[in-house]
């Protein structure tokens, strides 16, 4: 099968590549985590369930209608499909969602503590990384908890006792946010081990977010 024979090849291939990056960037282990991208108003592509990231090919990446029906692909979608669909329903501008088990951020998720803006790069996510209420993984309830925590203001949330969810305009952007969440979580953890980190005020984070939006344009 050639690339031309695979519907939405580029997006499905990007999910394969970013899946491998989850491991390379130490954002998850094994087959943990998942990624998705919006294809149009009614469809998303999402990583498959239970296949090692190094073995996923573009044709393995399911295409799913927003009602949950698989319309392309022979492999089951990620078990976290309900959480991804909940984000796309509630945030129409979101084009990509990334779920990780990155160790430093997940440490704060297990503590039930939001990550504050002790580093300016947290402005990629909002004024903090909030914590969603604990719900069992792979359930509609977890999706509801995640979108409640994200609201309209945040691009990331910690999933209590679980991991991290990021959402942004594209899969590329959502992956960048996942990297920044983990970096800021590590810095905050290290700073707190030495002393009391200084937290940037919300108005400075808002100003920085506006600068990042126009960076390089």
The domain segmentation of the chain, as residue ranges, is: 3-214
Please tell me the predicted confidence (pLDDT) of residue 197.
98
Per-run averaged pLDDT (10 residues), the chain, 217 residues: 82 98 97 97 97 96 97 96 98 98 98 98 97 98 98 97 98 98 98 98 94 63
Please tell me the predicted confidence (pLDDT) of residue 211.
84
CA–CA gap between residue 7 and residue 135 (Å, rounded): 34
CA–CA gap between residue 100 and residue 115 (Å, rounded): 16
Q: Indicate the pTM of the whole model.
A: 0.96
**Which residue in 59, 80, 128, 182 is the catalytic one?**
80
CA–CA gap between residue 162 and residue 204 (Å, rounded): 30
Structure tokens at 178: 């996942």
Please tell me the predicted confidence (pLDDT) of residue 189.
98
Partner residues linked to 159 by β-bridges: 132, 163
Please tell me the predicted confidence (pLDDT) of residue 1.
62
SS3 (DSSP) at 164: strand
Contact 19, 63 (CB under 8 A): no
Please tell me the predicted confidence (pLDDT) of residue 145.
98
CA dihedral sign, ordered 53, 57, 60, 62: positive
CA dihedral sign, ordered 104, 107, 109, 111: negative
Nearest-CA neighbor of 148 among 211, 83, 203, 92? 83
Concerning whether 17 is annotated as a catalytic residue, the answer is no
Please tell me the predicted confidence (pLDDT) of residue 217.
42
Please tell me the predicted confidence (pLDDT) of residue 215.
56
The third-level CATH classification (topology) of the domain covering 3-214 is L-fuculose-1-phosphate Aldolase (3.40.225)
């Amino acid at each position: 099968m050639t690339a031309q024979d695979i519907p939405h090849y580029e997006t499905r291939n990007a999910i394969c590549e970013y899946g491998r990056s989850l491991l390379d960037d130490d954002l998850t282990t094994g087959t943990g985590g998942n990624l998705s991208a919006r294809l149009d108003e009614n469809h998303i592509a999402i990583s498959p369930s239970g296949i090692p990231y190094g073995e996923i090919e573009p044709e393995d990446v399911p295409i799913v209608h927003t009602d949950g029906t698989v319309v392309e692909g022979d492999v089951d979608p990620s078990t976290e499909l309900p959480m991804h669909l909940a984000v796309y329903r509630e945030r129409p501008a979101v084009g990509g969602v990334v779920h990780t088990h990155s160790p430093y951020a997940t440490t704060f998720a297990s503590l039930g503590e939001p990550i504050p803006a002790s580093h300016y790069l947290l402005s990629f996510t909002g004024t903090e990384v909030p914590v969603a209420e604990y719900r069992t993984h792979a359930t509609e309830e977890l999706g509801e908890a995640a979108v409640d925590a994200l609201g309209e203001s945040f691009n990331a949330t910690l999933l209590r006792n679980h991991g991290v969810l990021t959402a942004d305009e594209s899969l590329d952007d959502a992956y960048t946010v996942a990297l920044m969440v983990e970096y800021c979580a590590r810095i905050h953890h290290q700073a707190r081990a030495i002393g009391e980190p200084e937290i940037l005020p919300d108005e400075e984070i808002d100003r920085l977010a506006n600068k990042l939006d126009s960076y390089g344009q």
